[in-house]
Amino acid sequence: MDSTPTFLQGWLRIYIAATLLYIRSWRTLSIRNQYFFQMMESLSLPLIDLSSSDRISTASSIRQACMDYGFFYLINHGVDKQLLENVFDESRKFFSLPLEEKMKLARKGYLGFAPLHAENLDSSTTSKGDSKETFHIGPLQDDERHVNQWPSEDLLPSWRFVMEKYYKQVLSTGKRLSSLIALALNLDDDFFEKAGGALDRPLGVLRLLHYPGEMGVSDEVVYGASAHSDYGMITLLATDGVPGLQVCREKLKQPRIWEDVNHVKGGFIVNLGDMMERWSNCVFRSTLHRVMPTGKERYSIALFLDPNEDYIVECLSSCCSESSPPRFPPICSGDYLRDRITAAYSEASNG
């Protein structure tokens, strides 16, 4: 018997199934999101090697990256590769718990779980809030201002151990980077870390993010994270390889041009926040970014490295002169962050 028709029918079935799958995942993106996605271009960001022994040349590359983009990749950063995988695994385990279980750890102050749409990073949109879930972990030594919440060990036995280990390693990377940023700003390399300096008792907040894949069909633009610049000093972001992160280099220009930021395996994406922009009198920039849904589930993990909460952030001496006076009044770091965070959560509940 001739087997050709059966063979062809087999291939035809596979082809039809693959096409239907593609159409289904494309349809889960809203019509406008599809439009935005087709318009994007990729951005090639500078690569900074934290292990380089040439600190002067590294600091100079950081300076250029912070002036041009406010974003760069950080490689050879010292955080253990396996630990980075473990932290993503543990994050996935937490977000796949039933909502009622996650809500037992609902955000108190800054810390704990926030469900889908709890936060709206862009107050100018009418969206009902960003389509992401988050979990925040603060300084490991609880104080009256910040008390961490941990999932029960019965549910997730290794969770706390892995998170604490990662927190310590990424915080130490952030501090090493801050000494190069100090050099890049023509300051002593211990400027941020020295006693009484901004990072003497830093506020480090680890933010686990989960963007669901299925968005439902809608005519509205749906954002994973709507357009924003970070609030604080430095962010070290680990991504899982699923695209979606985009930056807009010219935040004041209209229409905004968004460019994709590709994932670099094992590396961090580093960006500066608004506090750093103020501090440096706009010599360094904080850059607008957002996360667009692609129809695929996505996880990322950010460390926000910010000054201790009582620290007064005022224009750095190396960034102002008679011809370029300070553009912003001094602010208290903790108050500034609190106001920005509170606004993002209340925008969502108003939306």
Ligand X SMILES: O=C(O)CCC(=O)C(=O)O
Binding positions for ligand X, rule: CB under 6 A: 207, 209, 225, 230, 237, 239, 245, 289, 291, 300, 302
CA distances (Å), origin 310, targets 195, 230, 243, 323, 348: 14, 19, 37, 30, 28
Q: Select 302 or 313, whichever has its Cβ closest to ligand X.
A: 302
Q: Residue 13 Cβ, how far from ligand X at the closest point, in Å?
A: 38
Is the separation of the CB atoms in 129 and 120 below 8 Å?
yes
Ranked by CB distance to ligand X, the top (closest) residue is: 300
Q: Residue 230 Cβ, how far from ligand X at the closest point, in Å?
A: 6
CA distances (Å), origin 344, targets 63, 137, 300, 317, 348: 30, 18, 19, 31, 7
Q: Residue 240 Cβ, how far from ligand X at the closest point, in Å?
A: 9
Q: Select 285 or 289, whichever has its Cβ closest to ligand X.
A: 289
Q: Select 230 or 306, whichever has its Cβ closest to ligand X.
A: 230
Q: Residue 116 Cβ, how far from ligand X at the closest point, in Å?
A: 14
Instruction: Round to the nearest angstrom and report the end-to-end CA distance of the chain.
Output: 66
Q: Select 29 or 185, whichever has its Cβ closest to ligand X.
A: 29
Q: Residue 289 Cβ, how far from ligand X at the closest point, in Å?
A: 6
Provide the residue count of the chain. 351
Is the separation of the CB atoms in 33 and 248 below 8 Å?
no
Q: Measured in whole angstroms, how far is the alpha carbon of residue 108 from the centre of its chain?
A: 21
Closest CA to 116 of 247, 230, 242, 213: 213
Q: Select 185 or 272, whichever has its Cβ closest to ligand X.
A: 272
